[in-house]
Amino acid sequence: EAGDSEELGIGFGQFENGESSGVYLAEVYKVKMTVVLRAEDYEYIAEGSAHLIAAYHGPENSVLSGKVLRVALEDSAEAGDSEEQFIRSVMMRLIGSKYADPGTPVPCTREFLEALEKRVEPVRKKGKVPHAIDKERPSILLKQNFSASFGAGSWCLELKPKYYLTARSRLLPPELSEKYRTAFFEMLFDRGAVGAYNPADLLSGDRVRITRAVRALWESGHKWLKVFKDGKGFSTRADVEAQISSDILLEEAILAMEMNKELSDHIQMIQMKEYVDSYGAKLILDELLQRFNSDRGAIEEKLWNIYMNPEALTSLPVELVAYETSAQANEQSSNESFTKAKEGLSELDDQTLFGFVADYMIAAVAKDLSIMICLKQDETGSWQRSVNVVDLGVKGLDKVDEWFTRDSELTRKFKT
């Protein structure tokens, strides 16, 4: 149970060995508090490729109730203190502080992480367990449980808006016309056929278009729309329909998105910080790796310094050569195009190249975040609604290679 200390200020880690407990002093509400973490108090909610989310279901606790643990998986990008700092310094400033929770880094023991993994392993979907919990991490993040914001009786829809922008360069070769007439994610959605879901509709602020997007996600049964009740996820649409009409639930979610157009505008603004596509980002990263003797750590460190210095995150003029070279690179049919692109990049200084990469990586966060729409009907029949965002952590440079490969596959598939 949590015990308050009279001393205010930032806390520090203290550990107590034990299979499922880690005792710490942390900055929680600016008050030093001692809290025992017990694996048996947590239940699995969901996971992605980088993190697992477990919700607190233990005895009433002033610190832990209504919170989740965001636990890093092996081979994921750095979490804990750095993730909290990035969200606080960069994403909350861009997306709006009222929509996000940076979390509180919590020191933890290996024993606790082992016990937590043992507890959640039976309920993880075997086909979707890419990595084990990273038990070498010194901390995890304690965050608001937006899937149950209103307590008992809360419904929550988790939506992934994803990426909708099309290329903006006039240099696109004709053979790629189909790719750049269609929103990128419409093609990605069905991996081979243009899907019905266009993220631009979800973020439009227009009721008709939002309805089209939400309905397309619901009908597809895809993982980019998940439904929770009291923080626990449903496996199928039929399970949801057994408890509530999907028409009612989706209508309230659509209304919540329409009422929060400010958030949609902010997400689009961040996505548009990207002045190069995956091809341009790949070329720029290759150029930086050449300059820094393939030292990715040094490049990551310089990017981190930019993230932590808001004044360094200034917009760059679109007409800079690096933007146009990304379109040249898309041709892939001419070695001469790549040669010209690389020559253009070699003329730019480090600061300019790092600026492009930083903006690209920040835009990538906005493409991969989740919108949490929490709903609850009261005894009068009225609905409470709240909208928040999660998954705002910094992306690793390895994502540049991943997105380049994925985009290349789509380019080949959709050539006309």
User: What tens digit of pLDDT does each residue of 361-375 get?
Assistant: 998 898 889 999 999
**10 Å Cβ neighbour count for 352?**
15
Domain regions of the chain by residue span: 3-144
Supply the pLDDT for residue 186: 52
Query: pLDDT by residue (tens digit) across 9-19?
Result: 223 333 333 33
Query: pLDDT by residue (tens digit) across 127-174?
Result: 655 689 999 888 899 999 999 889 899 999 999 887 654 444 333 445
Query: pLDDT by residue (tens digit) across 86-138?
Result: 999 999 999 999 999 999 988 889 999 999 999 999 988 766 556 899 998 88
Please give the mean pLDDT across all residues of the chain: 77
Query: pLDDT by residue (tens digit) across 28-75?
Result: 334 455 678 999 999 998 887 788 999 999 999 888 999 999 998 987
CATH number for region 3-144: 3.30.200.110
β-partners of residue 233 are: 228
Supply the pLDDT for residue 220: 80
- Decide which of 410 and 51 is more confident: 51
The dihedral of CA 267, 271, 272, 273: what is its sign?
Answer: positive
Give percent above pLDDT 70 in the chain.
71
Angle at CA 376, nearest 5°, toward 375 and 379?
A: 155
How much is the average pLDDT of 387-413? 83
Distance CA 72, CA 214 (A): 30
Close Cβ partners of 275 (under 8 Å, ≥ 6 residues apart): 316, 318, 320, 322, 323, 356, 359, 360
HSE-up (13 A, CA, CB side) for residue 350? 10
